[in-house]
Amino acid sequence: MSNTTLKYENLWHSLVADKVKFSAIDQDQICDVCIVGAGFTGLSAAIHLAEQGKSVVLLEAHHIAYGGSGRNVGLVNAGTWNKPDFMVDILGKEMGESLISALGEAPALVFSLIHKYQIDAQQMQVGTLHMAHSEKGIPELEDRYEQLTRRGVNVELLKGAEIEEYSGSKQIPAALLDHRAGTVNPYAYATGLAKAAATLGVKVYEKSPVSSVNCLKKGEWEISVLQHKIKAEKVIIATNAYAEGDLESYRQSVYSGGYYQVASKPLTDDAGKTVLPYKQGSWDTRMVLSSIRLDKENRLVLGSMGFAHNKPAWYLKSWADRIQQHYFPQLGKKVEWEYSWCGRIGFTDNHTPKIIEPAEGLIAAIGYNGRGITTGTMIGKLFADYFTADTPPEIPIPFFSSIDASKCNYRQGKSLFIETGFTLYHLGQCLKVIR
């Protein structure tokens, strides 16, 4: 195991030289739409509203992409965690197929925004690999392949020499290559969206926590932030699993789980060039999945479910060593781990997002289940269209009329249960009890 000091620091931030900064709100405002939360959902909604001529105030309690948007793996995935047929089973054929289609097109929306606004998101539009961690994982991929190809999706099931070529590992017997997808530096993507929003006239404020949101009368909302008031016709709550203060009640709709990542120093030798040579981001079929990707400087970035801030560095490094040496033994035992960071995922019981519309003119989205880049960008656009179109579009996501109606039962117990399970599973990997 390497003796390199592991920094508890977000790698994605270090790879963005031109960090965007906005001031805190310093005066009262009047706007068409006020958005709370400057992650993928809020930023996408702000851009699409501004493109349609609406005046927008965007409020962030901390800094741009403070929450899951700046901390995640950076996989620009198509679809949800659920298999397509299961989505139809739980949502019905019409809504299920509509959501499958919308999320299938979401990566293209992400990359189109990057192109349109010339964002340096460190993007690699080369697809993603869902990899079988052993022979036991192959049926899972075969089932997904059948369901996706039945719907005309451009995916390939790789096996044999082909998967070794793509992954750089002899331990992976099969993988599903999704050509719609890719990777980004999520923080770079989010800060690029913020710059684009500002150029479109969106008033963006950081370090501006909202203390209350109240309806004064139909079509008039008052948002209190610091010592100031914002009057808006409509409000979007885009805080997902990071809602705070007066808005923390929205988190009752999900239970939280952590996701941590560990990044190496750049792989510079010939062995390093064999790892994911075509730069696809990937994740495996383990019970508690591992994500595997490279950053723009060829660091190996590994991730899995669970929180990192409550675990010692030796634990995280031991886990990373175990995953690296299992999949990529050609790198030897001298990989140096440099960064570690963690984010929070909002889970729903059926791994499907929720829309909460407690009153006319107020709407919120929550529960992206680890698919925030594409889901958030898509929902942000849908919300913009929902508030501006003469005939609002149908949003293929379950709507709830109140927080109570969308409430996740036993959420704290579920969070504790899964975190305990993740910790024990990873400890088993470190001890080589679990393969």
What confidence tens digit (pLDDT) does each residue in 43-71 have?
A: 999 999 999 999 999 999 999 999 999 99
pLDDT of residue 18: 87
pLDDT of residue 1: 43
pLDDT digits (tens, 9 = 90+) for 97-152: 999 999 999 999 999 999 999 999 999 999 999 999 999 999 999 999 999 999 99
Mean pLDDT of 254-282: 96
Mean pLDDT of 185-202: 98
* Averaged pLDDT of the chain: 95
pLDDT band at 391 (very low <50, low <70, confident <90, very high): confident
What element of type H or E holds 320? helix 313-327
Q: What share of the chain has pLDDT > 70, as a percent?
A: 99
Residue 2: inside a domain, yes or no? no
Angle at 137 between CA 136 and CA 143, to 5 degrees: 120
pLDDT band at 334 (very low <50, low <70, confident <90, very high): confident
Mean pLDDT of 271-285: 97
* Residue 3 confidence (pLDDT) above 60: no
pLDDT band at 428 (very low <50, low <70, confident <90, very high): confident
What is the spatial distance between Cα 318 and Cα 302, in angstroms, rounded to a whole number?
12
pLDDT band at 410 (very low <50, low <70, confident <90, very high): very high
Residue 433: inside a domain, yes or no? no
pLDDT of residue 58: 98
pLDDT of residue 4: 64
Q: Which domain holds residue 18?
A: 7-425
Please list the residues that pair with 178 across neighbouring strands: 128, 155
Contact 348, 355 (CB under 8 A): no
What is the spatial distance between Cα 143 and Cα 86, in angstroms, rounded to a whole number?
12
Q: What is the pTM of this model?
A: 0.96
Closest to 220 (Cα-Cα) out of 233, 208, 209:
233
In the chain, how many domains are there? 1
Mean pLDDT of 244-264: 94
Residue 435: inside a domain, yes or no? no
Other beta carbons less than 10 A from residue 231's beta carbon: 15
Please list the residues that pair with 176 across neighbouring strands: 130, 157
The greatest distance separating any two alpha carbons of the chain, rounded to the nearest whole angstrom, comes to 66
Closest to 365 (Cα-Cα) out of 349, 348, 341, 343:
348
More confident residue, 175 or 246: 175
pLDDT digits (tens, 9 = 90+) for 25-41: 999 999 999 999 999 99
What is the spatial distance between Cα 259 and Cα 290, in angstroms, rounded to a whole number?
10
* Residue 19 confidence (pLDDT) above 80: yes
Mean pLDDT of 277-283: 97
Instruction: For residue 213, give both structure tokens.
Output: 């949101």
CATH of the domain at 104: 3.50.50.60
* Residue 435 confidence (pLDDT) above 80: no
Which residue is listed with tokens 């009752």? 252
pLDDT of residue 369: 93
Residue 28: inside a domain, yes or no? yes
Could you give phi then psi for residue 407, rounded to 5 degrees? Answer: -60, 140
Contact 426, 306 (CB under 8 A): yes
pLDDT band at 81 (very low <50, low <70, confident <90, very high): confident
Residue 265: inside a domain, yes or no? yes
* Residue 397 confidence (pLDDT) above 90: yes
Mean pLDDT of 234-255: 93
Please list the residues that pair with 114 across neighbouring strands: none
pLDDT of residue 432: 74
CA 22 to each of CA 6, 102, 263, 286: distance values in angstroms, whole numbers, following the listed order? 30, 32, 29, 41
Residue 51: inside a domain, yes or no? yes
Residue 108: inside a domain, yes or no? yes
pLDDT digits (tens, 9 = 90+) for 206-236: 999 999 999 999 989 999 999 999 999 999 9
* Residue 84 confidence (pLDDT) above 50: yes
* Residue 411 confidence (pLDDT) above 70: yes
* Residue 321 confidence (pLDDT) above 80: yes
pLDDT band at 434 (very low <50, low <70, confident <90, very high): confident
Q: What share of the chain has pLDDT > 90, as a percent?
A: 91
What is the spatial distance between Cα 271 and Cα 309, in angstroms, rounded to a whole number?
31
pLDDT of residue 357: 96
Residue 430: inside a domain, yes or no? no
Contact 21, 81 (CB under 8 A): no
pLDDT of residue 42: 98
